[in-house]
Amino acid sequence: MTTFRNHCPHLDSVGEITKEDLIQKSHGACQDCKVRGPNLWACLENRCSYVGCGESQVDHSTMHSQETKHYLTVNLTTLRVWCYACSKEVFLDRKLGSPPSLPHVRQPQQTQDNTVQDFKIPSNTTLKTPLVAVFEDLDIEIEEEDELKARGLTGLKNIGNTCYMNAALQALSNCPPLTQFFLDCGGLARTDKKPAICKSYLKLMTELWHKSRPGSVVPANLFQGIKTVNPTFRGYSQQDAQEFLRCLMDLLHEELKEQVMEIEEDPQTLTSEEAVEEEKSQSDVDFQSCESCSSSEKAENESGSKGFAEDSSETTMLIQGADDLEMAKDWQREKMCNKINKAESEVELDKDRDTVCDTVDLNSQETVKVQIHGRASAQSASPKRKKQHKKYRSVISDIFDGTIVSSVQCLTCDRVSVTLETFQDLSLPIPGKEDLAKLHSSSHPTIVKAGSCGEAYAPQGWIAFFMEYVKRFVVSCVPSWFWGPVVTLQDCLAAFFARDELKGDNMYSCEKCKKLRNGVKFCKVQKFPEILCIHLKRFRHELMFSTKISTHVSFPLEGLDLQPFLAKDSPAQIVTYDLLSVICHHGTASSGHYIAYCRNNLNNLWYEFDDQSVTEVSESTVQNAEAYVLFYRKSSEEAQKERRRISNLLNIMEPSLLQFYISRQWLNKFKTFAEPGPISNNDFLCIHGGIPPRKASYIEDLVLMLPQNIWDNLYSRYGGGPAVNHLYICHTCQIEAEKIEKRRKTELEIFIRLNRAFQEEDSPATFYCISMQWFREWESFVKGKDGDPPGPIDNTKIAVTKCGNVMLKQGADSGQISEETWNFLQSIYGGGPEVILRPPVVHVDPDVLQAEEKIEVETRSL
């Protein structure tokens, strides 16, 4: 089925080739560096005989493609064809002959080039006919060939202390929902943002899971792209695998995210969960790692990541942006700002919510009313922004997003505040001997936590600190069995979700009392993700010392029951998880080596991935591993039975009068998710029910056609929709798109003209300062990288008021524009405040000026 899904418009440029010619070229060498195979690449352009090396060497084949615009190239070892323009694998049989008839399914009437011409819009764009779903699209049975030689067992070469990256990539590669998305829906890996991490990841997954199964590949392109964005991974020092995972998943989400259509509702009728979610969606709280019940990480707004997404080869910034050094500082600053105290965020979130009332049961305590208060807007134009309620989703958020509900009760007035937080992984503390005793004792229901178990009991003072450090060092060196019972993953989860007393330095700021009060915090999971990522906090960094907790944590390979940590009102149906992969770290806090143990989804056997070495191991080997990061997947026999039932229905030849179109992304969820949720066709429809013009060119990558009996079964089981029997390009969206494009062009041209005149001034009397954060958003809009215009100009972060005058804050991220440019932008977007700089005027003494003129006249006369 892959053959029919990977149409490439560049296949027409392929010349006459034979397999014998390719085999003969494989015995040659790179025409530039003379290196010999394997993994040479041959250009397929007509009348071009170039052969170049791949990523494992200098990658002359890619350089040749960029210089000559010859996009198609074939690997002379695996005979796979790659298109640099489409950034995906293509197949020559698409060009050499018409595709064979699809089994058991009637073909729709198509023209010779698989397009239809009856969907017309003013720009003469046409829609291609989506393919018909066949047995392979929904089949989950393992082919006999895969049983003999399972795919996905390809190693990754170490390219300079990159074992942390290789282990993380192998663990993600063996998460079927994510990998199947890139293999089956690779056409959706589209982005205009640089460095296009999603395209590099797509290429890597295609190589790792190809049937030819090469021994190892080099993830050079992906690594290079991540290094350009995150300076932490530059150089050749050892890095943290969990931090790399977080960075990679953030970048993939940022490039693949799409705005979710939401029906506007009356704010007064929102539930507490909806109010919280909508408020969070305005700032696009995309990813955070739930460190503990007393701390959380929150993403900054999108401007930081948008700055990294700019094309480095672009002509110039309209206002010159920061160089690599500034990018590095911004990244580190954003990383530091993301670590905020959850107790403080509780107050902020409590203020930010729309006022609603709900009831919460606090573990057999009395039921109290929850009041979540709203915040009056500080900006004049904010009501206009508030109606937008932007919310984004991507395949990353669909798979890894979960929700934690936190409740804090004031012990003075009994007021309870509730917050919902999205997480992509749980960072669990590893409890010590004393903590285990308290966890297992009914007489100590409350455990005070401060980041990880044991910190709350740490003595104060330098001598006590030194003694505590020595104690931890000795504990880390002595086998764990010497100190007490075995720590289980359930113990770590119980420590994470234990009740937390907020007192002393960690008191709760009660909104009702208007004072710091003692409080109690409770955490439960409202929604479990499809794949749960668990990070065990083995590393401690204190001042100049770093230590590693080597305590063995036992974990189940199957049947991880998370029911005890589920909120009572949660709609979750499946709370049992099976292990997919585990990342292990061997060594100390200062040096070590990462490997990954992964279960192959095709044969259910466990393998050890140690860089380019892949070895089959027993289950006991995995269970004895020193786990650092674990990936668990929801387990459901019911979902597997449902997939088999639907797959069998495709074999039944049943005439249908109607054909239904369904989202490829949702079908991928149906194939790989335990809970795929309602059918969601809105990922290829606009709010008017048609195809958005920007998606018309690749509609075949978004949609599959289903027979009526299949649609009826899926719809009756999962609901959702909407049902789509006819595809057409939305004329309303086309008109709106043309208006937006005209607006972009006008604003950009006027700005360039005004800014050019400003640059030509010798000594401007005044400079108007503008926030670069807002300016980057506006620049992304006028350059077509962001579909929505920015809000009002917000100079509050760069302005400071002194003696009643608004002045530029020292070190602020700002740019300078002319008064005319400021008036132009302010007339469109509004906002403020005005921040004006006036260069100092040098006063010259008239007598000195006359003396200088006299000397100049005498000099000329001589």
DSSP line for 591-624: SEEEEEEEE-TTT--EEEEETTEEEEE-HHHHHT
What is the number of other CB atoms lying within 10 angstroms of the CB of residue 797?
13
Nearest to 169 by CA among 161, 160, 179: 179
How many Å apart are CA 452 and CA 428, to the nearest integer? 8
Token pair of 322 as six digits: 């920061």
Nearest to 707 by CA among 660, 668, 671, 664: 660
Kindly tell me if the per-residue pLDDT of 148 is higher than 70: no
Kindly tell me if the per-residue pLDDT of 297 is higher than 80: no
Residue of 568 and 317 predicted with greater confidence: 568
| pLDDT value of position 168 | 95
Token pair of 856 as six digits: 């100049």
Q: Is the N-terminal amide bond of 571 cis, ω within 30° of 0?
A: no
Most confidently modeled range among 302-306, 545-549, 817-821: 817-821
Kindly tell me if the per-residue pLDDT of 556 is higher than 90: yes
Q: Which amino acid is at 824?
A: F
**Which residue among 30, 43, 83, 163 is the active-site one?**
163
pLDDT exceeding 70 applies to what percent of the chain? 70
Q: How confident is the model at residue 251 (pLDDT cuts 50, 70, 90)?
A: very high
Token pair of 74 as six digits: 């074939």
237 three-state secondary structure: coil
How many Å apart are CA 110 and CA 103, to the nearest integer? 17
Q: Chain-centre distance of CA 176, in angstroms?
A: 17
Query: For the chain, what's the residue count?
Result: 862
How many Å apart are CA 396 and CA 81, to the nearest integer? 28
| pLDDT value of position 829 | 92
How many Å apart are CA 685 and CA 691, to the nearest integer? 5
pLDDT (average), residues 60-70: 87
793 three-state secondary structure: strand
Residue of 325 and 808 predicted with greater confidence: 808
303 three-state secondary structure: helix
| pLDDT value of position 232 | 87
Token pair of 20 as six digits: 């014998």
Q: Is the dihedral of CA 535, 537, 543, 545 positive or negative?
A: negative
- Which of 124-128, 462-466, 485-489, 493-497 shows the lowest per-residue confidence on average (mean pLDDT)? 462-466
736 three-state secondary structure: helix
Token pair of 408 as six digits: 């804090």
Nearest to 337 by CA among 276, 309, 296: 296
- Which of 235-249, 296-310, 795-809 shows the lowest per-residue confidence on average (mean pLDDT)? 296-310
Query: Is 163 among the residues known to form the active site?
Result: yes
Give the pLDDT confidence of 665-681 residue by residue, as tens digits.
Answer: 999 999 999 999 999 99
Which phi and psi (to 5°) does residue 688 adopt? -95, 0
**Which residue among 373, 552, 593, 731 is the active-site one?**
593
For the beta sheet containing 703-707, the strands, ordered from the edge strand earlier in sequence to the opposite edge, are 131-132, 703-707, 659-663
Beta strands in 263-362 (DSSP E): 289-290, 295-297, 339-341, 357-360
pLDDT (average), residues 721-747: 90
847 three-state secondary structure: helix
How many Å apart are CA 110 and CA 128, to the nearest integer? 10
Tell me the angle at which helices 433-440 and 489-496 cross, rounded to the nearest 10 degrees.
Answer: 80
pLDDT (average), residues 824-829: 92
3 three-state secondary structure: helix
Q: Is the N-terminal amide bond of 383 cis, ω within 30° of 0?
A: no
Which one-letter DSSP state was computed for residue 566? B
H-type alpha helices, 234-289: 241-256, 272-282
Nearest to 402 by CA among 420, 419, 427, 423: 423
Three-point CA angle 368, 374, 375, nearest 5° = 140
Token pair of 465 as six digits: 């600190």
Query: Is 593 among the residues known to form the active site?
Result: yes
Q: Which amino acid is at 641?
A: K
Kindly tell me if the per-residue pLDDT of 144 is higher than 60: no
Token pair of 523 as six digits: 């955490």
- 309: Cβ contacts below 8 Å, ≥ 6 apart: 193, 194, 254, 255, 785
HSE-CB of 831 using CA atoms within 13 angstroms: 24
Cα 727 to Cα 3, 127, 137, 730, 842, distances in angstroms: 23, 8, 21, 9, 69
Kindly tell me if the per-residue pLDDT of 129 is higher than 90: no
| pLDDT value of position 358 | 38
Only one residue has tokens 């309209």, namely 318
Residue of 318 and 703 predicted with greater confidence: 703
How many Å apart are CA 485 and CA 139, to the nearest integer? 46
| pLDDT value of position 382 | 37
3-state secondary structure 753-784: HHHHHHHHCCCCCCEEEEEHHHHHHHHHHHCC
Cα 759 to Cα 310, 317, 753, 825, distances in angstroms: 23, 14, 10, 17
How many Å apart are CA 852 and CA 228, to the nearest integer? 55
Kindly tell me if the per-residue pLDDT of 849 is higher than 60: yes
Q: How confident is the model at residue 627 (pLDDT cuts 50, 70, 90)?
A: very high
Whether 216 contacts 55, CB under 8 Å:
no
Which one-letter DSSP state was computed for residue 841? P
Token pair of 19 as six digits: 């397999």
Cα 521 to Cα 361, 367, 466, 736, distances in angstroms: 13, 15, 31, 49
Q: Is 841 exposed, middle or buried (0-12, 13-18, 19+ CB in 10 A)?
A: exposed
Give the pLDDT confidence of 446-471 residue by residue, as tens digits.
Answer: 443 433 333 333 333 445 445 555 55
- Which of 111-125, 127-141, 580-594 shows the lowest per-residue confidence on average (mean pLDDT)? 111-125
Q: How confident is the model at residue 721 (pLDDT cuts 50, 70, 90)?
A: confident
pLDDT (average), residues 571-579: 90
How many Å apart are CA 228 and CA 224, to the nearest integer? 6
Q: How confident is the model at residue 136 (pLDDT cuts 50, 70, 90)?
A: low
Whether 577 contacts 555, CB under 8 Å:
no
How many Å apart are CA 193 and CA 318, to the nearest integer? 17
Kindly tell me if the per-residue pLDDT of 532 is higher than 90: yes
β-partners of residue 535 are: 427, 629
Kindly tell me if the per-residue pLDDT of 271 is higher than 60: no
286 three-state secondary structure: coil
Nearest to 294 by CA among 46, 495, 49, 40: 495
Kindly tell me if the per-residue pLDDT of 64 is higher than 50: yes
Please tell me the pTM assigned to this model.
0.66
pLDDT (average), residues 268-276: 41
pLDDT (average), residues 756-762: 87
470 three-state secondary structure: helix
Q: Chain-centre distance of CA 491, in angstroms?
A: 30
Token pair of 499 as six digits: 């009740």
Is beta strand 402-410 parallel, antiparallel or unpaired with respect to 519-527? antiparallel
